[in-house]
Structure formats: C-alpha cells, structure tokens
C-alpha cells in the first residue's frame, strides 16, 4: 500500500537522481503510494492512481531540532491513517509530514511533540504536474 523512503534511499535504490522518476519506478514495480521525505524541504507523495501528478507538503520555515526518528514518525502516521481506513493520499501526506516535523522538535527518537496538530495546520501543500 505504501513505501516511505527518504530522498537518498530512493535515489540510491532506484539508481537515478530524479526523485519523481525514482518514485514512479517504485509505482511501476507495484507500490500503490510512495511518500518521499526530503528533510527540511518536506515530503512528496506519489499515487499509482495519478502517475502524472504528485503532492508536496512542507512547513513555511525549516524546524531546528533532532531529525532522528522523523522518518519513523512519518511511517507511523501513514500506518495510522491507513489502519483508520483513510485512502486519500493528500490526507496521508499531511499526517505523515506533521508527525515527522513533530518528531524533530523532540530531543530523542521515539516521541512526537504535541504540537503536531499545529504543525499540520501550518503545512503548505501543493499539487504538481509532472513534466
């Protein structure tokens, strides 16, 4: 249903530097959705149902903190959304990005800040066409 590599893992695994192309390769191999974390630049979401578009979510300003565990928090958020029957890729992306950002605010891995709802409200989300 969903794969969530970071940008470095994705480009290395797929052997190309173009994130969109690499994510679409994963979709071509059977992934339904691919979330790609890109550090302070936010997260991208690709959906097999719409292979010519993608979502991008980011905060207005990068957060200072500890990124250890941010990817795991994103996966946890996506898993919770899927377990709750959510199938909307944008909604999954919003939750994953907010939880990931909330994890950066914590001093150690394994926790997310209670500010995740506030962070979700601050997200700038765009829907982009692929060239």
pLDDT of residue 128: 95
> For residues 110 and 51, what is the distance between their CA atoms, to the nearest angstrom?
33
Mean pLDDT of the chain: 96
Cβ proximity of 35 and 44 under 8 Å? yes
pLDDT at residue number 109 = 87
Quick: pLDDT tens for 40-95.
Answer: 999 999 999 999 999 999 999 999 999 999 999 999 999 999 999 999 999 999 99
Quick check: 108 pLDDT over 90? no
Pairing of strands 124-129, 53-58: antiparallel
- With cut-offs at 50, 70 and 90, classify the pLDDT of residue 118: very high
Compute CA distances 43 → 6, 87, whole Å: 9, 17
Of the candidates 55, 62, 114, the residue with the CA atom closest to the CA atom of residue 89: 55
Rounded Cα distance, 93 and 71, in Å? 12
């Amino acid at each position: 249903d969903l794969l969530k590599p970071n940008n470095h893992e994705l480009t290395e695994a797929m052997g190309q530097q173009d994130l969109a192309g690499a994510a679409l390769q994963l979709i071509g191999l059977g992934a339904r959705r691919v979330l790609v974390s890109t550090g302070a630049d936010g997260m991208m979401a690709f959906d097999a149902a719409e292979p010519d578009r993608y979502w991008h979510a980011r905060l207005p300003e990068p957060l200072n903190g500890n990124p250890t565990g941010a990817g795991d928090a994103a996966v946890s958020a996506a898993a919770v959304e899927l377990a709750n029957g959510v199938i909307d890729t944008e909604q999954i992306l919003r939750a994953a990005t907010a939880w990931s950002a909330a994890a950066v605010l914590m001093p150690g891995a394994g926790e997310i800040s209670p500010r995740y709802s506030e962070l979700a409200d601050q997200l700038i989300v765009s829907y982009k066409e692929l060239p």
